[in-house]
Structure 1
């Protein structure tokens, strides 16, 4: 696929975002489209920061794995051992590994297997969700869907529970843990947790599909374990190189479960192609869409970020 093809798809779909393709450390293609702020006509640039929705689960998984490496947690640590009386509907045999692999079976506050659209108003009081502990009322009261380990069932809430377990085991806040254990060691200077109600000038505002209304009332005001961290296409290229140099890759991207309905496999926080070694992160939510793939053999990274829910997919499907 050539530059003209990407430009054509971007024009046909009204794409707003950034596309970047790296190969063996060299940038082959990098271009920004659309507006980071529509009312003020602020254009996206290749350095604009975008929320990546569930793409952030990879950062949570690596943070947890760093705690496992140090013996602060184990993959067999039960959630109940750290939750105490909180979230009583989480079964006693649910472990860190179950949560990482989406096989915990716990009920989900955002059940993507149900009748859900990205622009739905799913969460009330989003302005209160500034800490992991603040998510407890949102996570509570959801009955288990199946027994731990029985099957794969994608679970957003499970990754917030992981953030909570990481906090309680380490004594440090989730956002600090991610910064100290992933962002700083990986050199990701343009990646971080941004409040949606005070975005800096270099971050893209997220917009609902087909209107100029922002996503500020749709998502937690400060992202947590299940996704929403902000990053750039350049930092994602750094991320993949650092991951495969870190010693975490063998554990994180080893296939644990086939997910036939997605034509993919799943590791620990990362999606994997069924027939090759390409690894990917993806995210989809109100005002955010993202897909980044990496082939460790060729060193090829392809990243598409958008500040609308449907924006990334036509280009991502065409070039990936």
Structure 2
């Protein structure tokens, strides 16, 4: 089966010109581990198993785990109101917004990047350059005085700003910066030694540059297209193997008790059809059964998918340093393994 999946991945990569790394594991057995393309095109440095990739919103689950840890520590609770968690002023926000609403994208607050209004993520940095975006509070002016889109709990609407607020809540409750908290309480506990929230202008070795391909065949890197440092809504760097280590630690209750882990992985809100959302994680159901838990991230120069399939005990990560390509490789793996 391993040879079959390798062959299908290679064929799909030739067709799509996927650039990145793939790691697939079933139980303790590795089904596939491969890398393609360049981490640095100018220097022709190849992507390898140890290459770190940006994962955009794929790391919202780290934020959700952190909040859940602080709930277990008695420093927060899921039904706690936003107004009781942060000292910042939000003049038009509904006072009934809770941490649960923020975790499940049901708060109704305005987003700093609203896909219903804006099409290009790079438009955000016209008035406020991305190289100023180093701390969570730097995002507040984008949405702090905005008006509610709907009443809290009314419906699901994907929202990055809600996770910025969760990051600020983590900082206030823990006394650590968001990045310090995640690196100490998640990355270290899971053995994710290559992962971190690295600044785009100070990337460590073995880190892939993100590439934006243009229609005329030219390209540019994404250094001027995304915030200089990631935070609670996205922007961590990981290796594909590190992401699988995260799933293993989560499912082994390394981060949280079994009860709290179950709460994080519970399908709290329906997105559409068989798609649900837990705390920081997407959930695909098949009838009454969970088909997969998955996270994804897309930014200019970044595409990422990672999933856990409980029935087959398969965990995988597909990391790419191009704006698209991860989803196509994910589908090939799912078809080959009949997931």
Question: What pairs up with 1:276-287 in 2 under 5 angstroms?
Answer: 276-277=289-290, 278-287=292-301
Q: Are the aligned partners of 1:121 and 1:217 in contact in 2 as well (CA < 8 Å)?
A: no
Query: Match for 2:105 among 90, 102, 117?
Result: 102
| Structure 1 stretches of 4+ moved >3 Å | none
Partner of 1:49: 52
Q: Are the aligned partners of 2:308 and 2:314 in contact in 1 as well (CA < 8 Å)?
A: yes
Unmatched runs of 5 consecutive residues or more in structure 1: none
Matched, 1:179 2:204: no
Query: Match for 2:281 among 262, 267, 270?
Result: 270
Sort the Cα spacing of 1:203 and 1:85 in 2 relative to 1 into closer, same or farther, 3 A.
closer
Partner of 2:337: none
What do you get for the CA RMSD once the two structures are aligned? 1.6
Sort the Cα spacing of 1:33 and 1:95 in 2 relative to 1 into closer, same or farther, 3 A.
same
Q: For residues 269 and 64 of structure 1, what CA distance do their matches in structure 2 show?
A: 10
Partner of 2:244: 237
- What is the TM-score normalised by the length of structure 1? 0.95
Q: Are the aligned partners of 1:61 and 1:269 in contact in 2 as well (CA < 8 Å)?
A: yes
Q: Could you say what secondary structure the match of 1:2 adopts?
A: helix
Q: For residues 171 and 3 of structure 1, what CA distance do their matches in structure 2 show?
A: 46
Partner of 2:71: 68
Q: Are the aligned partners of 1:51 and 1:229 in contact in 2 as well (CA < 8 Å)?
A: yes
Partner of 1:202: 206
Report how many aligned residue pairs link the two structures: 318
Partner of 2:265: 253
Partner of 1:7: 10
Q: Deviation at 1:194?
A: 0.7
Q: For residues 249 and 296 of structure 1, what CA distance do their matches in structure 2 show?
A: 14
Q: Deviation at 1:176?
A: 1.1
- What is the TM-score normalised by the length of structure 2? 0.90
Partner of 1:125: 129
Question: What pairs up with 1:186-197 in 2 under 5 angstroms?
Answer: 186-197=190-201
Q: For residues 86 and 34 of structure 1, what CA distance do their matches in structure 2 show?
A: 46
Q: For residues 170 and 151 of structure 1, what CA distance do their matches in structure 2 show?
A: 30
Matched, 1:310 2:312: no
CA shift digits 1:287-315 (9 cap, x unpaired): 11110111234321121110111121211
CA shift digits 1:240-266 (9 cap, x unpaired): 1100111342111111011116x4110
